[in-house]
Amino acid sequence: MKYLFAFLSVLTLSSVSSFVNAQDLSGAWKIKGSENHLLFVQDGYFSWTETNNNKEFVNTMGGRVTVGDNQLNVKIEFNADDRYMVGDSYTVRYKLTGDNLEIQHPEGYNMDWERIKEKDQGLAGLWRITGRESDGKMNEIGRSPRVTYKLLTPGHFQWMAINTSTGEFFGTGGGTYTFENGKYTEHIGFFSRDNSRVGMSLSFDGELKDGQWHHSGKSSVGDPIYEIWSREDFDAE
């Protein structure tokens, strides 16, 4: 758990030799020597997820991230373990050398991350569900604090159902994915609602139409789904 909160409690980092913009941090990261801590950064949003050695879900948190002067400004929009952190803001400094990210905790120990190599598949970004079919009719889902996001790096995904106003957390899941020849396939690496589904693969028909992602198939419990996802635009709020 200390790694999860270290990212947010870092306020100083000595001997910063190079600072890069948020785009250079985009993608998926893992703690060196461990598969239990994953960090996803894409399109001004981040998620951080912890699992245990049995691949059981422990916690996740995330939110918006923007670049200031030699720092990242983070605003928490969800925390599965502590809803009262939602709305809090933090300042983070870091050092990036190639594909290695170093964060120094105030207590003195270093956190060393390494970038996970991925292949761009055209879906990377922060997506918000904006339509869901029910009884043969597509129903529009408007913007509200109760939101379901899907954060995709070039090769990893995480969905999260949250309420950014109340801090409520309803569930999450994630792992790796492939998108080719109209087929989108998720390989589940963590799932907060049911750890027994870790290791499953789910395939869907996927298509990008006019900037929207049309997603259809069957859910993890076998129910038919047809969803429309749109890239999140915070300026539209």
Quick check: do 2-115 and 125-236 share a fold? yes
CATH classification (class only), 125-236: mainly beta
Top-level class of domain 2-115: mainly beta
Reference 171, options 190, 144, 192; nearest CA is 192
Count of helices and strands (H, E) across the chain: 1, 18
Predicted confidence at residue 18, as pLDDT, reads: 37
DSSP string over 55-123: --EEEEEEEEEEEETTEEEEEEEEESS-GGGTT-EEEE--EEETTEEEEE-TTS-EEEEEEPP----S-
In whole angstroms, give the CA distance from residue 162 to residue 126: 14
Q: What is the pLDDT of residues 35-88, one digit of tens each?
A: 899 999 999 999 999 999 999 999 999 999 886 566 778 899 999 999 999 999
Q: What is the dihedral of CA 106, 50, 184, 115, to 10 degrees?
A: 40
Residue boundaries of the structural domains of the chain? 2-115, 125-236
Please give the backbone phi and psi of residue 24, each rounded to the nearest 5 degrees, phi first.
-70, -20
* Model pLDDT, residue 95: 79
3-state class of 141 per DSSP?
coil
pLDDT band at 91 (very low <50, low <70, confident <90, very high): confident
